[in-house]
Structure formats: structure tokens, C-alpha cells
Amino acid sequence: MRARTILAAPCLLGMMAIAFAQSSDAPGPPRLESRYTFTWPVGPTAPAPRGGTTRGVGIKLDTSVSPQWKGLREEGIPAAERDRRAILAMAGGYRVSFDFLEVAAFTGDGSRAQPYQSWGTERVFVDRDEPRRVSLVHILEMHMVGADGKPMEPMVTKHWRQEWRYEPPYVIEYRGANRWVRRDLSRGERQGRWSQVVYQVDEAPRYGALGKWEHNGSFSTWVSDEALRPLPRREWTVRKDYDLLRGTNRHTITPTGWLQEENNLKVVSGTVEAYVGREYGVARYERVAGEYFSEASKYYESTRKYWSEVVAAWDEIWEGNRVVTLKASSDQSGAYVDLFQLADDYAAGKLDIASAKEKIRTSLLQQQAALPTAKVVR
């Protein structure tokens, strides 16, 4: 079956994630499923979760202990190497479920935000593996069932990237108003710690923070310092009452997969900082058995060199600038479209890498703006 590559990534990513919210692993008619793990007290005014009814094809989960976990538990390896293996253990093919709940509201009007629940399927590729730098690329591959009960052609798109650096000289942090800062780190601040910087679908920066890995016999976990981040797609499409998240990020590796937890305050930036609520979130990555992600692999291999040039162009920008301001967030402005079209042209043989480099740099320069006069959150 032919795969369909998705160009308008951020809009369709949100639609697809919602579409899988009430999917079933088994074939058959759609059924509504309660997926609450905890919530506010039930009652007639309790808000229903945001979600949809489109079904995904049946999948089989792999619940065996992963080889990556076994390698991570090897005795006698240096601390930094154990950390690196924990990061590499996030690679693989997964069913990912997302649950976000606003656990406290500070507006005083008694309103409750709808919980957010969704899931999708994606493969995480090791794009760079060095002793002090690891990069993981997430590619979505969605297999959905049509109204006639038959599988639709797979939909594939680049999702996001996470880059880890050991004892880095700097970390890229979000400061609000579409502004990112390269903050230099002292030797003491970075000693024994890893930075994680998260990038959007088109390799524009999203947020970054420092943290430290800890390991025990049951799991390995990394907890970030508190950091700012822009609104995610699940929020900016429905919320206009705040403009920043301030919180912590935890990645936990288990024998059969991994999970990411968030604890976020919802911030209204301005002269006097205010909060509208606090949310808890968890993304659970469960390994998928079998050859499910063949189209994601094809997309990754056919565009890898191209996206590496996009990353290299951003590296050059950060080498020459301590502050980068974009005219708008790329997923909201649509600035990602040009870069995705170039990726498709490269994969189709319509564009060579030399020409791609020039077009990439032109696109990134067009996205940048002068420093804002608006207050930047510290």
C-alpha cells in the first residue's frame, strides 16, 4: 500500500492525534473508551475529554524486556555511558498515548478546562550517536481505518526531534515572545548533567533545559530544571487566555518502553506575571511488535541528509548569535511548509543537496526578526 507523506504537518498532526483518541487495538465497530486515570470529582458539570472517534488498525504490543534495557543495566560502565544508553533506549517503534489534565485553576470563575487525551504511532530514530551528543528523530506513521472499515493508506510525517548533550557549554532556552537565548553554562552548572533541547517539526527550536540522569534497579530517569516553553499545538488551537508554559520535564526508561511526564504552570506573560492553572501530563511510549513502521523508515532514509543540512544551518545560526527571535512560531505561521516541500523535492530527486543548502538558509533567514520590544519572561 502506498504511503502518503503529510506536508501540512502541524495542523494534521493535531487532527491525527485527536483522531486516535478513542481508537481500539482490535478491529470492529468504534467504541467509546474511558481512559481517565485520575480527574476532578465527577458530576454533571465535569468536562468531557477532547478527542475523536476515528479508529486505527489493530496493532500488537511487544511487552518483552528490550535489549536496550539490558545494555543499560550492564555493570561497570561509566556514569556518562549509562546515561547515554538510557537516552538511546528511547529509540524504536511505539504506540504513544498522551494524557493532560488541568489539576488546578486560578481564575476564580469555577471553570474547568477539558482534559486532553490522544494517541498515535511513531518511530524514534537515532540520528546522531556520539559519546557526548545524541539526537533522536520522531517520525509519525499513522494507519487508520476508513468509514468502510478498510485500512487507509499510511500517513507519514516528521514529528519532532530531541537532542541531548553531556556537560554542554550552553543550552538553548525559550524566553517568550518568540525569542530563544543561548545561555552559556559554568563548569559547575553543567558537571555531570545532560541538556535536552526539543525542536519542532522543521527543526526550529522549541525549548531546552538541563537535568541529571539517575538509575536504579527498576528504572532510569532524567528530570529537568524548571524551564519555559511555548504553547503546544494541543493548546494554541483552543486556548487564548495564556501564552507560556513554565514547568519541569521527566523522562523515565522502563524495561518495556519509556514515558515523559510534565508538570506545567500556565503563564500569562506581561508586566505582572500571572497564572491561569497548572496541568499534569504524561506520554507513554509502548513498543509495537512487528514491521509496522516501514514507511517511516523510508521517509527518514530518503530525507535524512536534507534534514541534517537544516540542523547544520541552525547550528551555524547559534554559533553566531546568543539570541534568536522569529517573526512567529513556525508551526503557527506556516513557515515550516517551505522546508517540508524542499524535503519532498529532495526525496523525489528534484533537488540536489547543494541547491537545498542555499534554499534552507534563505528560508531560515526569512523567519528571523529583530529583537522584540515586548517584555521577555526571565
> Would you say residue 1 has pLDDT above 80?
no
Yes or no: say if 41 and 112 are a contact pair by the CB < 8 Å rule: no
Q: DSSP letters of 25-45?
A: SS-SS-------SS-SPPSTT
In whole angstroms, what is the distance from residue 352 CA to residue 243 CA?
40
Task: Note the pLDDT of residue 119.
Answer: 85
> Would you say residue 127 has pLDDT above 90?
yes
Tens of pLDDT, residues 144-190: 888 888 888 999 999 999 999 999 999 999 999 999 999 999 999 99
Helix, strand, coil tally for the chain in percent (to 5): 25, 35, 40
In whole angstroms, what is the distance from residue 98 CA to residue 19 CA?
12
Q: What is the DSSP letter of 151?
A: B
Task: Note the pLDDT of residue 53.
Answer: 57
Mean pLDDT of the chain: 86
Task: Note the pLDDT of residue 42.
Answer: 67
Cα separations in angstroms, 151 against 38, 142, 317: 33, 11, 43
Q: What is the mean pLDDT of residues 20-38?
A: 46
* Residue with more model confidence, 8 or 130: 130
* Residue with more model confidence, 253 or 236: 253
Beta strands 116-130 and 133-142 are antiparallel
> Would you say residue 262 has pLDDT above 90?
yes
Rg of the chain over Cα atoms, rounded to whole angstroms, equals 21
Yes or no: say if 164 and 126 are a contact pair by the CB < 8 Å rule: no
Residue 215, SS3? strand
Tens of pLDDT, residues 45-79: 777 787 655 678 888 999 999 999 999 999 999 99
In whole angstroms, what is the distance from residue 24 CA to residue 53 CA?
10
Q: Encode burial over 335-369: b for 16+ CB neighbours within 10 A, e otherwise.
A: bbbbbbebbbbbbeeebeeeebeebbbebbeebee
* Residue with more model confidence, 374 or 179: 179
> Would you say residue 20 has pLDDT above 70?
no
Q: DSSP letters of 321-370?
A: -SEEEBSS-HHHHTTHHHHHHHHHHHHTTSS-HHHHHHHHHHHHHHHB-P
Tens of pLDDT, residues 318-340: 988 999 998 877 777 777 899 99
* Residue with more model confidence, 112 or 201: 201
Helix locations, the chain, DSSP H? 9-19, 67-72, 79-88, 187-190, 233-236, 294-320, 330-333, 336-347, 353-367
Enter the pTM of the model. 0.89
> Would you say residue 374 has pLDDT above 50?
no
> Would you say residue 2 has pLDDT above 90?
no
